Amino acid sequence: MDGLLATLNQSHYFAALMVGLLGGVHCLGMCGGLISAVGFTNQAGTRRFPLLLAYNLGRISSYALAGALAGGLGASVLSLSGLHYAQQILYFFAAAFMIALGLYLAGLWRGIGQIERLGAGFWRKLEPLSRRFIPIKTPWQAFPFGMIWGWLPCGLVYSVLIWSLSAGSAWQGLLLMLAFGLGTLPNLLLMGTTASRLNSLTRKPLVRLVAGLIVCAFGFIMLGRVWVGF
C-alpha cells in the first residue's frame, strides 16, 4: 500500500508539471506583456536570460510558498475534521476545478476566470511593492520582482492551489506547486527570443483546444482516483 501511495504522489507531481506546461497557452497571455513592459526583452541576449531566469525563479518560489501554506491548511482541516473521507472530498473539488481549468484553456467555458477576482483586493495592495525594482537591470532585482508577481491573481495558479489543499501536508503542497511552476518555466523562459512565434502558436484555437482537453483528461483521472478511494 505504501508503494502504491508513493507512486500516486509521484504521478501527481508529473501531472502538475504537465498542467503547468500545457497551461503555457495562458501564461504567455498573462505574463508576456509584463515581461516585455519591464524591459526583459529589450536586453541583449546574453543579459536577458539571467534576468528572465531570476524573475521566473522568484515567481516559482512564491508558488511553492503558496502550495506549502495551502497544503498545511488542508492537512490541519483534515486532522481537525475527523472525517474519514475529508481528503477525498477535497480531492474531488480539486478534480472538478482541473476539469473547469481545461475547459477554460480550451476556450470552451470562461467560468474559471471568475475566481481570479478573489485575489484582486490583496493584489492591489501587493503590486505597488514591485515597482521599486523597476527598471530591472540585475537578477537581484528580477528575483524579488518575480516573487511579488507570483501572487498575481490567476485562474490557472488558483486551480492547482486548490489541488494543493488535498496534498496531505505542507511539504507535499509545496512540491505540487513547485512541479507546476517548473512546468510553466519553458514557455516563459523562451519569451523574448521567440515571443512572436510563441504568441502566434498559442493563440491558434486548435493548440488551445488540445492543451485544454489534455488538462481535462487529468481532471477525469483525478475523479477516477476519488471513485476508487485513491
Domain assignment of residue 11, yes or no: no
The three cell numbers of residue 30 are 498573462
The helix-helix angle for 205-227 and 2-22 (nearest 10°) equals 160
Domain that holds residue 149: 23-194+201-227
pLDDT of 5 = 40
Residue 10 resides in a domain: no
Residue 15 lies in a domain: no
pLDDT > 80? residue 202 = no
Is residue 159 one of the residues assigned to a domain?
A: yes
The 10s digit of each residue's pLDDT in 89-136 is: 888 988 999 999 899 888 888 888 777 788 888 889 999 999 898 888
- φ, ψ (nearest 5 deg) of residue 67: -65, -40
Q: For residues 126-146, b (16+ Cβ closer than 10 Å) or e, as one string?
A: eeeebeebeebeebebbbbbb
Structure confidence at residue 82 (pLDDT): 61
Distance (Å, whole) CA 28 – CA 36: 11
pLDDT at 198: 59
Give dist(CA 47, CA 154) in Å, integer.
28
112, part of any domain: yes
Question: 190 lies in a domain?
Answer: yes
Q: Sign of dihedral through CA atoms 197, 198, 200, 201? A: positive
- Residue 191's pLDDT band (cuts 50, 70, 90): low
User: How confident is the model at residue 170, as a pLDDT?
Assistant: 95
Contact 218, 18 (CB under 8 A): yes
Give me the number of domains the chain comprises: 1
Examine residue 90 and state whether it is found in any structural domain, yes or no: yes
* 39 vs 130: CA distance, rounded Å: 14
Q: What percent of the chain has pLDDT over 70?
A: 77
Mean model confidence pLDDT for the chain: 81
- Answer whether 115's CB lies under 8 Å from 106's CB: no
Instruction: Please indicate whether residue 162 or residue 203 has the higher confidence score (pLDDT).
Output: 162
Q: What is the 3-state secondary structure (H, E, C) of 149-162?
A: HCCCCCHHHHHHHH
CB 51 within 8 A of CB 139: yes
Mean pLDDT across the stretch 204-210? 82
Question: Does some domain include residue 216?
Answer: yes
Assigned C-alpha cell, 213 = 482537453
